[in-house]
Amino acid sequence: MDTNMKHIITVLFVCSLAASWAGCGGGSSSSSSGTSVTGKLYQPNGTDPLPGALLYVPKTVTNTQITNLKASPAVGVDCESAPSTAAYSACSSADGSFDLNITDCSQITATNSQIVIYVSKGTLDFTITIAGTCTSEAQTIATTATETKAPEITSSSADLKIAVCSGEYDTMEQVLGRMGYAPSDSDGDGSPNYNGWDRDVNANFNYFKSHVDSYVDNSNFPSCCSLLRGNTVAITDASGNAVTDSAGSALSRSITDYDIVFLNCGNGCEPSNGGYATALSDPLTDFSESNTTLRNYVNGGGALYVTDLSYDFIEQAFPEYVDFLNGGHGSSAETAQAAQVGQSGSGNFEPLASTVNQTALLNYLLSVSAENTDCGTPTGSGALNSDNTVNICNFLSSWAVMAGMESGSSATNWVQGAAEFSGSTDTDVNGNLITSGSTAIPLTMSFAHGSGEVLYTSYHTGDSTVATTEFLPQERILQFLVLNVLGSL
């Protein structure tokens, strides 16, 4: 599986060295010791911060320095360790800011009077090249947002590969579009923009149909059901045309070719179409058709992100990690759809002020803005309420309810809240009573399996009422988790 996305962003300071950098367009000022490079790292959309990224200056500047620098899969790791080849390193904070100080220029090797800074966050790798001579004299070089933005996912620029399976009730592809991980309308084909994604695909971002879309025709996209069976699938766009690689060759892909696969809520590939999604012509006859495919994919280093009613792709394939409601406990898969007992949140318990359990996520939500006009605008800093809870909405009637973690599971509970479900009570794996509306139950969980990662949310992520440039608080959670999982691959 491809895991490196390497790009060069050149930061040119066309300025006389005699001016001591003070008049350079990038900006400079006095530093207490040595050369200090400061700025803020941004995600591919150029707006949102890139937290927990490693910045370092190698002792020898070669393109091979960032090979095999991926951190081991571990949810919650803010920044991977600098390699032994690094002379100086830093880590970007929750708001993306960084300060990389080079106190002894003799420790690094510059090429053509340039300082090269490597930026690495798992599968996101790029470099900042500063023209100029490193000096031990006090100076600060301030970079700009254009210079420190992670590159967008385009056909010719990345090895990172993303697959999204459509859903009857969720639209994670729209959120990915606003993040800069899906193609924008930069090709100028005039395709309408659906809340962040204009239905364009390329060699690195592929879209698969898993339901019959009654609003926008998706019939020409390849089948998600075939992908889940482990088949090799010809990749096509919304018009049915072949998607090609940089050499112009038509692409065919299997699930193992992707770094991360998203399964939206309402996946019609489930046996009998899940009982919810509009019928497809090739649904699975049994989950056994997809279980081995998904376990092998994640075990080999892939990431799987699933929402709400598509939970059985996790429960049936990975039953030993998450305990879903109404099906007993243990490592055997529960009855399909048994956990789909959640009550509708709209007009009931929404907005659900939920607790953020992990500090890294909390800090990120403090650093970004969020809108929630249809559910409840955050009352505190960033995407949080004043008590540091986060508003969660879009709980579909009969949403899938988690009770907790299975015994011995290493799953991480990111967000929890006292949501409501039918049946009134149940018990978790430890025998603790779970009461509808009063017991805080997991709403966002993740776990490592082999070399890969699985993520699940009981609520929906996308919302059609959100403007192209806006994010709901729960969409900010997806944004963080995508960065987190890409940073662990």
Residue 299, pLDDT score:
98
Residue 433: predicted pLDDT: 92
Can you give the pLDDT at residue 423? Answer: 83
Q: What is the pLDDT of residue 13?
A: 29
The pLDDT score that the predictor gives to residue 108 is: 80
Comparing C-alpha atoms, which of 244, 403, 238 is closest to residue 311? 403
pLDDT of 2 reads: 46
Pairing assessment for the beta strands 54-58 and 86-91 based on DSSP bridges: antiparallel
Distance CA(41)–CA(285), nearest Å, equals 46
Q: Quote the pLDDT of residue 63.
A: 39
| Contact between residue 85 and residue 60 where contact means Cβ atoms under 8 Å apart | yes
Maximum CA extent, the chain:
76
Contacts of 53 (CB under 8 A, 6+ apart): 41, 79, 91, 92, 96, 98, 119, 120, 121, 124, 487
For residue 100 the two structure tokens come to: 């990389």
Q: Which two tokens stand for residue 214?
A: 């009654």
Burial of 249 (0-12, 13-18, 19+ CB in 10 A): exposed
Predicted local confidence at residue 460, as pLDDT: 86
Give the Cβ contact number of residue 278 at 10 Å.
Answer: 12
How does pLDDT run along the chain (489 residues), one tens digit per residue?
A: 544 443 433 333 222 222 332 332 333 344 457 888 899 999 988 899 999 899 999 886 443 333 333 333 333 346 888 888 888 999 999 899 999 988 888 788 665 567 788 998 877 778 877 766 777 788 888 888 888 888 877 655 556 899 999 998 888 988 888 888 888 654 444 444 555 677 889 899 999 999 888 777 789 999 999 999 999 999 999 999 999 988 899 999 999 999 999 999 999 999 977 666 667 889 999 999 999 999 999 999 999 999 999 999 999 999 999 999 987 788 899 999 999 999 998 888 999 999 999 999 999 999 999 876 667 789 999 999 999 999 998 898 999 999 999 999 999 999 999 999 998 788 888 889 999 999 999 999 999 999 999 999 999 886 555 555 678 899 999 999 988 877 666
In this structure, are residues 44 and 150 in contact, taking their beta carbons and an 8 Å threshold?
yes
Closest among 351, 422, 424, 426 to 390, alpha carbons compared: 351
Tokens of 111: 């090429």
Reduced to 3 states (helix: H, G, I; strand: E, B; else coil), residue 197 is: strand
Query: Phi then psi for 314, rounded to 5 degrees?
Result: -95, -50
Tally DSSP H helices, then E strands, for the chain.
6, 24
pLDDT of residue 465: 54
Alpha helices in 213-258 (DSSP H): 224-228
pLDDT at 358: 94
pLDDT for res 275: 67
The angle at the Cα of 335, spanning 331 to 339, to the nearest 5 degrees, equals: 95
Work out the burial of residue 356: count CB atoms within 10 Å of its CB; fewer than 13 is exposed, 13-18 middle, 19 or more buried. buried
* DSSP SS3 for 356: strand
364 phi, psi to nearest 5 deg: -65, -45
pLDDT of residue 401: 96
User: Strand ranges (DSSP E) for 357-410?
Assistant: 390-392, 402-405
∠ CA 98-383-419, nearest 5°, is: 135
Q: What angle do CA 50, 54, 59 make, to 5 degrees?
A: 145
Contacts of 296 (CB under 8 A, 6+ apart): 230, 256
Alpha-carbon span 284 to 481, nearest angstrom: 29
Quote the pTM value.
Answer: 0.85
Classify the C-alpha dihedral 127-132-136-137 as positive or negative. negative
- What is the rounded (10 degree) CA torsion for 275, 276, 281, 286? -40
d(CA 166, CA 188): 24
Structural contact between residues 372 and 365, judged by C-beta atoms closer than 8 angstroms: no
- Cβ-contact 178, 471 below 8 angstroms: yes
Which two three-digit tokens encode residue 388?
A: 């540091």
Pick the closest to residue 463 from 450, 473, 455, 453 (CA basis): 473
